[in-house]
Amino acid sequence: MSAPSTCKVLVVDDEKDVLLVTKLSLKGLRWKDTRVEFLMATSGAEAIEQMRANPDVAVILLDVVMETEHAGLDTCKAIREELDNRIVRVLLRTGQPGQAPEKQTIDEYDIDGYLPKAELTSSRLYSAVRTAIRAWEQLVELERHRQFLHAINDCAISLRTYDDVEVSLGRILDTVVTICPTHQAVLSLETFDADGNAQRIIIHQSTHPDSKTSEAEAIEVAQRLYLDPDAMSQETIGAVEGGLLLPIRLHRELGYGWIFMADVAPDDLVARVLPIMAAHAANALYGAVAQAMLAKRDGNLFDDIAI
């Protein structure tokens, strides 16, 4: 679910001079203020292995005729079907258009551009690759949205009002770590027990191999944050000492809570998604309170429902 930190372009051609000229033509290409990383392959089989090792490749410049007359087309089919990579953008290059007629190739194969070598200039190559990178970037964002929504939906479905609130909060924290991986996550909630007494719930996740040590570290984080007036007055998700704090706002004076993630710096999409999990945590407590109130009722609940 993490946003890509690099942009890779795979150039596939059996002529080494073409590989060098292509890299030279795209030398100034940049993505998000970073240089594009180039990978090379001299055959279809080598290109497939590169894609196995680098499934995050953004664009493939793929020659048609290499070890066989249709090696490029076979490679494209393998990447789409065998490797199930639908996000990488494939730009087909051919010096022999008769081997892969443009209309037929576009109809039969999942490619994103057709570049006859005889008509290809450095300027057109640059424009085609830069446009393909932009399309790849948008598809990556759509896929991340899909994965986040899937995780949030699964979490919401798993929450039950009859479960202990600690169980529900644990599931929420699991989802938070799925969305924003970290080596330490702590969820703390200050509220009241069934008798109205103040209680503090602390749930944590840690990659530390020793459970007692990770628990002690979580308690230490909670104590430090509760003594930090700036952290406790924080209204929205934001950075604190050692990581990121996500406030959990509770209504009707039920208490206050937060989720802490150590050593993370989320991108804009993650920062927009995480507050949904804080809302789930608040709703889990509301549900537990409602369940406790219903459990104490005398008589049939349905007698009080207006029809």
pTM, full prediction? 0.79
pLDDT at position 203:
94
- pLDDT bracket for residue 34 (50, 70, 90): confident
Residues 129 and 169 reside in one and the same domain: no
Residues 129 and 233 reside in one and the same domain: no
Specify if 304 maps to a domain. no
> What is the rounded CA–CA span in Å between residue 85 and residue 3?
17
Residues 280 and 181 reside in one and the same domain: yes
Amino acid of residue 6: T
Residues 178 and 101 reside in one and the same domain: no
Of 188-192, 196-200, 255-259, 287-291, the poorest mean pLDDT is in 287-291
CATH number for the domain that contains residue 74: 3.40.50.2300
Query: Which two tokens mark 189?
Result: 């909630």
pLDDT tens-place string over residues 106-147: 677 778 888 888 888 889 999 999 999 999 999 999 999 999
pLDDT at position 237:
95
Specify if 251 maps to a domain. yes
Residues 137 and 30 reside in one and the same domain: yes
Residues 134 and 223 reside in one and the same domain: no
Residues 115 and 57 reside in one and the same domain: yes
Number of neighbours of residue 245 by Cβ within 10 angstroms: 22
Specify if 245 maps to a domain. yes
pLDDT at position 305:
39
Specify if 141 maps to a domain. yes
Residues 12 and 139 reside in one and the same domain: yes
Contact 255/272 with Cβ under 8 angstroms? no
Specify if 3 maps to a domain. no
pLDDT of 221 over the 70 cut: yes
For 167, phi then psi, to 5°, come to: -65, -45
pLDDT at position 10:
96
* Three-class DSSP labels, 41-94: ECCHHHHHHHHHHCCCCCEEEEECCCCCCCHHHHHHHHHHHHCCCCCCEEEEEE
| β-pair partners for 206 | 184
CATH number for the domain that contains residue 242: 3.30.450.40
Specify if 109 maps to a domain. yes
Number of domains in the chain: 2
Residues 12 and 137 reside in one and the same domain: yes
> What is the rounded CA–CA span in Å between residue 21 and residue 157?
54
- pLDDT bracket for residue 293 (50, 70, 90): low
pLDDT tens-place string over residues 252-274: 677 789 999 999 999 999 999 99
pLDDT tens-place string over residues 146-182: 999 999 999 999 988 778 889 999 999 999 999 999 9
> Residue 27 carries which DSSP code?
T
Q: What is the mean pLDDT of the chain?
A: 87
pLDDT at position 3:
82
- pLDDT bracket for residue 59 (50, 70, 90): very high
Residues 138 and 22 reside in one and the same domain: yes
> Given 145, 179, 206, which residue is the final one in a domain?
145
> Given 145, 171, 197, which residue is the final one in a domain?
145
> What is the rounded CA–CA span in Å between residue 154 and residue 152?
6
pLDDT at position 96:
66
> Given 145, 177, 208, which residue is the final one in a domain?
145
Specify if 302 maps to a domain. no
Range of the domain at 240: 159-295
pLDDT at position 44:
93
Residues 33 and 134 reside in one and the same domain: yes
Specify if 307 maps to a domain. no
pLDDT of 291 over the 80 cut: no
